[in-house]
Structure 1
Amino acid sequence: MRILTAHAFYATVGGEDISHRTEVQYLKDRGHEVVDFTRQNSELQCQHPLIQAAATISNRDIYAAAKRVIIEFRPEVAYINNTFPALSPAVVSCLKDFQIPVIRVLRNYRFGCLSGNLFRQGEVCTDCIGRTPLKGVIHGCYRGSAPASLIAGFTQHRMASIDKRSVGYFIAVSNYVKSVAIQSGMPEDRIVTRPNLYLRRSNAVRKQISMRSNRIAFVGRATPEKGLDDLIRAFLQLVQWNSNLVLAVIGPARGAIDHPNIEYLGQIDHQQVTRELSHADCAVVPSLWPEPFGRVVIEALGEGTPVVVSSIGGLAELAGPGVLAYRPGSVGDLVEKINSSISLPRELAFREALARFDADFSAENWYETTMGVISDATSNI
């Protein structure tokens, strides 16, 4: 099948970017013809603010570029990830004009929240869901700027309007995202829930089990909503009981506290991230915001590493074998859950994590669901 994929990459590489690359490559590996139509959001930062604003709301250059690709490639279906801001609503408009079936993946809350994360001033915020983004503009929720938020609000309104008319099916990465999308006015009967894709290593993971030793892994940024400070406070209690315990902080993150048992590894490539996760006794996702899914969870499970997550948003749905959930913001509960996780016999924890991954997050499950949606989208055109 000829599939046109599209994505606007973030200035700082994150889970959405990794998910897009993984899915594009996997579709190619399964024998599909794939053309990937992408732009870098960082390119807009070099332009004049007024030009940025106009391009974000409706981009003629993107429409023209998408038109050329469609005419040359003749896609049977379009699979769209993030389009904000570099691709603008223009790419979906162009696909609609050429009557190409469109599937959009919902990996953030940009469809109803200017910041995209339902988080403001240290708390979960849903003030704009199902309403105009007036409060988001007043609070400057997009990049801390009221003018920029006003432009983002116009773009959000235009994108939502185009999506409702032009997108055949939406794929939400969790039931929580689906519920927020429905509250935002998206048609419930056209939203399918499907987790992200992670391709676990079949042989290498078993070799790593003997290398695990007293390590806890955190992957993410040091922004307040990621909850790193809570994790560090919990770790400082745990290290009093086990002086050999090490916290590996992976990504462009640095907590407020330095400690000889805390390793700030910085931004490392994805293979190194995978290696760190495979070596850890457990991974922790202590988010204070309602994560749409939590890609780190399936990456860790796929490497045979159990996970502790905050019970919020899409993360709450992942609780079960291999994944312990704690009350968001409760350092005491976090300490208890981490201690329970790292106290499990390593072989048992390893087998439980892999079994959970294979049961719920395998590539075959992802492919079957995705192709089912594509089949429905193309048959209804």
Structure 2
Amino acid sequence: MKVLIANTLYFPDEVGGAEVATRLLADGLTRAGIEVCVVCATGTGDDRSEEVNGTTVYRLRSTNLYWPHAPGEHSRVAKLIWHAIDVRNTSMSRKLAEIIEREKPDIVHTANLSCLSVDAWRVANNAGVPIVHTIHDYYLLCPTSSMLSAGKPCVGQCGVCSLYAKPKQMASAQVNVAVGVSDFVLKKHVESGFFSRAAKTTVIHNCYQPINESAVPQHSRRVENAPLRLGMLGRVLPEKGLELLLDQLLADQSLDWTLAVGGTGDQDYVESLKAKYADPRVSFLGRVDPSDFLSTIDILVVPSVWNEPFGLVVLEAYSHGVPVVGSNMGGIPEIIEPRSKLLFDVARPETLIGKIHEATALIDDPSTRDRLRQHARRFSLDTMIHSYVELYEGMVCLEERKPWLAARREAN
């Protein structure tokens, strides 16, 4: 079996969980004996192909108005033109059609399609190749991919987003199987009319980066009567809820704490946070090694104020035995360890401190770290790969019963 995976970016260009999950999927499928090729976009150089960990990767030079992952701002008009082209970027579609003809995959598996265009679905459908699409974010519903307005999550689509999404919604009818990385993000799309003709919709959770537990840095235990070491890890963005966390910590008198913030973000925004929350207990560390970072904190806080599609950092913390206090937004409740129930209500931010107190009580329980690691293993790479392989095999068996596909393969 051969699978062609299409995603906006691919290793080493990784800006978020979708790119990490795509790389892990490609590598895992290859190790499982499935032939894989990857198609992604790039903002530099010419179209080219290369081998990455045994996988052929086609990097297609973007042909839109600008490369969205480069620094710099663009006018509202330029953004509107960019999105209009992206809906059906015929230049990128021709390139993809040539690769499908060359590679002859049994399955086309799409993920984030910004820059590649949702027209990829039409191309695959015309080639007679069944399509799996994994939903990692809200790009199909919202041009910002976040469904946020004025710092608050949108309950539904606004008028502008509805107009933006309509062509993508119509194109999504060509997808055979739609996969959500969480039940929350899948339902958001199905309820908005996406994937109306899909034979199946299902949830396959992302996995965390596999780690060698014996090589994980020794966790430094909290010294008795020392401040509680809180951590926040990931991109420093308004929707990640750092301001909510700091507001609650600075207003509270019941905790003795320090907060380490690991991750980068817009420099102006980060500098504004440093000025607004100038407190010696708060450290902005910039880019960090996740394992090293997690080995030095007692509790990870994930205070997202938007509907996180998944929340990979939660599982990364659990894989290191670190308790997580998370918000009740998006897909986070689906992966929080159920016995600890450390979810706070974003609508009532004062509940955050109470959950941190509950997490503090877990630290001294010797069984906590093992229990959290065990929970993380439910989201292992092997589990994710097995789920996708089972899905592919079912689709190929179904498609092989179709005479037109048999004829196509015989012609090839």
Q: TM-score, normalised by structure 1?
A: 0.83
Give the stretch that moved more between structures: 258-267 or 51-60: 51-60
In structure 2, what is the equivalent of residue 123 of structure 1? 152
Matched, 1:102 2:147: no
Distance in 2, Cα, partners of 1:372 & 1:314 = 23
Distance in 2, Cα, partners of 1:316 & 1:118 = 19
Give the stretch that moved more between structures: 11-20 or 225-234: 11-20
> Secondary structure of the residue that 1:177 maps to in structure 2?
helix
Alignment of structure 1 residues 159-170 onto 2, 5 Å: 159-164=168-173, 166-170=174-178
In structure 2, what is the equivalent of residue 15 of structure 1? 17
In structure 2, what is the equivalent of residue 143 of structure 1? none
In structure 1, what is the equivalent of residue 247 of structure 2? 233
The structure that is helix-richer by fraction is 1
> Secondary structure of the residue that 2:113 maps to in structure 1?
coil
In structure 2, what is the equivalent of residue 332 of structure 1? 350
Unaligned runs of 5+ in 2: 45-61, 68-73, 400-412
Q: Deviations over 1:206-257 (max 9, x none)?
A: 65234667432212334332211111123335687325x3333423263331
In structure 2, what is the equivalent of residue 74 of structure 1? 104
Match for 2:214 among 195, 199, 204? 204
What is the root-mean-square deviation of aligned Cα atoms in Å?
Answer: 2.8
> Secondary structure of the residue that 2:33 maps to in structure 1?
coil
Match for 1:181 among 174, 183, 189? 189
> Partner letter of residue 163 of structure 1?
S
CA separation of 1:267 and 1:376: change in aligned 2, threshold 3 A: same
In structure 1, what is the equivalent of residue 278 of structure 2? 258
In structure 2, what is the equivalent of residue 2 of structure 1? 2
Larger radius of gyration: 2
Distance in 1, Cα, partners of 2:293 & 2:253 = 19
Q: Contact 1:252/1:267 (CA < 8 Å) preserved in 2?
A: no
Give the stretch that moved more between structures: 213-222 or 233-242: 233-242
Give the stretch that moved more between structures: 230-239 or 368-377: 230-239
Distance in 1, Cα, partners of 2:303 & 2:43 = 28
Q: Contact 2:14/2:20 (CA < 8 Å) preserved in 1?
A: no
Q: Contact 2:262/2:293 (CA < 8 Å) preserved in 1?
A: no
Report the Cα offset of residue 277 of structure 1. Answer: 2.4
In structure 2, what is the equivalent of residue 302 of structure 1? 319
Alignment of structure 1 residues 248-287 onto 2, 5 Å: 248-252=261-265, 254=270, 255=273, 256-268=276-288, 272-287=289-304
Q: Deviations over 1:137-178 (max 9, x none)?
A: 8xxxxxxxxxxxx6xx1xx322221221x2110111111112
CA separation of 1:93 and 1:31: change in aligned 2, threshold 3 A: same
In structure 2, what is the equivalent of residue 195 of structure 1? 205
Distance in 2, Cα, partners of 1:205 & 1:332 = 38
Q: Deviations over 1:173-221 (max 9, x none)?
A: 1111122122111347621011112133133366523466743221233
Q: TM-score, normalised by structure 2?
A: 0.77
Distance in 1, Cα, partners of 2:331 & 2:19 = 18
Distance in 2, Cα, partners of 1:53 & 1:160 = 14
Distance in 1, Cα, partners of 2:189 & 2:264 = 29
Report the Cα offset of residue 323 of structure 1. Answer: 5.4
Report the Cα offset of residue 97 of structure 1. Answer: 1.0
> Secondary structure of the residue that 1:105 maps to in structure 2?
strand
Report the Cα offset of residue 54 of structure 1. Answer: 5.2
Runs (4+) off by over 6 Å: none
Report the Cα offset of residue 347 of structure 1. Answer: 3.6
> Secondary structure of the residue that 2:133 maps to in structure 1?
strand
Distance in 1, Cα, partners of 2:382 & 2:145 = 30
Report the Cα offset of residue 327 of structure 1. Answer: 0.7
